[in-house]
Amino acid sequence: MRFKFSMSPLSALLRSQKRLQRRLEKAMPKLRVSEPPKVSKPRAPRSGLVQVHAFGSNPGRLRMFEYVPSTRRDPATLVVVLHGCLQTAKQYDRGSGWSRMARDKGFVLLYPEQTKENNHNLCFNWFRPSMVARDRGELMSIRQMIEHAMERHGIAEDRVFIQGLSAGGAMANALLVTYPHLFAAGQVVGGLAFGAARDAMSALSVMKSGPRRQRREWGDLARSAAADASSQKPAVAIWQGRADRVVSPGNAEALLAQWLDLHGLDELAGESEARLEGSMIVWKDAKGRRLVEYRLLDALDHGLPVITRRAGSERQAYMLEGAIGAPQQFYETFIRPRRT
């Protein structure tokens, strides 16, 4: 049976999970993911991010920031983080808690940052073909940053991970698709599939309504971007809010179709689980390693799920506090070194 964009097999799984969720909710309170707070301006903590210059030719004219903990742990690990629109690297870092985790766990952080000269709203230009073409534009700038950081900090080739939110999620996905050999795993939060749009107008359209392609078409778009379509593919976690008013959940379905096709996975082979915060389906390889994770969070609007912080902490836009944090889940599931 061909996999169609309607996702009917997955929809059936999600409907059955809904029934399980209702039973869970009777026994336990449902996770509430808060709206972005209105106005709260306590003194901002100092950021540990440091700007790095001269990392390459930088054809996309981006900025590079990094955080290097005083004590690093083996294996040497790099996590690349791409902010969303209307955000800076430092704002995203303060809200997400990535640098605190990097300090505690001993890994290096890399933050590419957009400039207003490139995009007035500070969005990465994921919808412009010239910016996401292999070895061109913003995509090439970020690749140069990654390779520069790997060389300077002795990062192992199989220890590079990437997370992105919204436009940053779409750009993270473009990097995963175009340079699959660079990454062990990625987490795309409220993002979009590679090839979903070709200009600003079509980007706004697919964000609102979701794109319309078959599974094989999504896979072919991705394969056409990679130098070697047969190379090993990274693991991918796709997070989406069911209540997202900026990026339609249909875009997460397109992302899922793209990665199931790239990994050659049967949509019916996923292991489903009903959770208090929403639905999760996981596809694994023959050795039990996660290849694709799909999470649909019921109460989540557009933003990054983060653990609720103490009273008086500075709040950041598009950081949605609740009982579950995407950075922590990404670390525990994909980044944490495994004993062999």
Q: Is 312 left (phi over 0), alpha (psi -120 to 50) or beta?
A: left
Burial tier of 55 (Cβ tally within 10 Å: 0-12, 13-18, 19+): buried
Cβ-contact 106, 71 below 8 angstroms:
yes
Report in angstroms the alpha-carbon separations of 125 from 92, 146, 211. Answer: 18, 18, 18
Per DSSP, the residues of 51-74 read EE--SS--TT--EEEEE--SS--S
Distance, in Å, from the CA atom of 82 to the CA atom of 204, rounded to the nearest integer, reads 20
Let me know: does 234 contact 183? Beta carbons within 8 Å: yes
* Catalytic hit among 96, 99, 166, 279: 166
Alpha-carbon distance of 46 to 99, in angstroms, equals: 11
Is 166 labeled as catalytic in the residue annotation?
yes
Query: Token pair for residue 53?
Result: 């210059």
Q: Kindly give the pairing relationship between strand 278-284 and strand 271-275.
A: antiparallel
How far, in Å, CA of 28 to CA of 71, rounded?
Answer: 40
Side chain identity at 178, as an amino acid letter? Answer: T
Which residues are identified as catalytic? 166
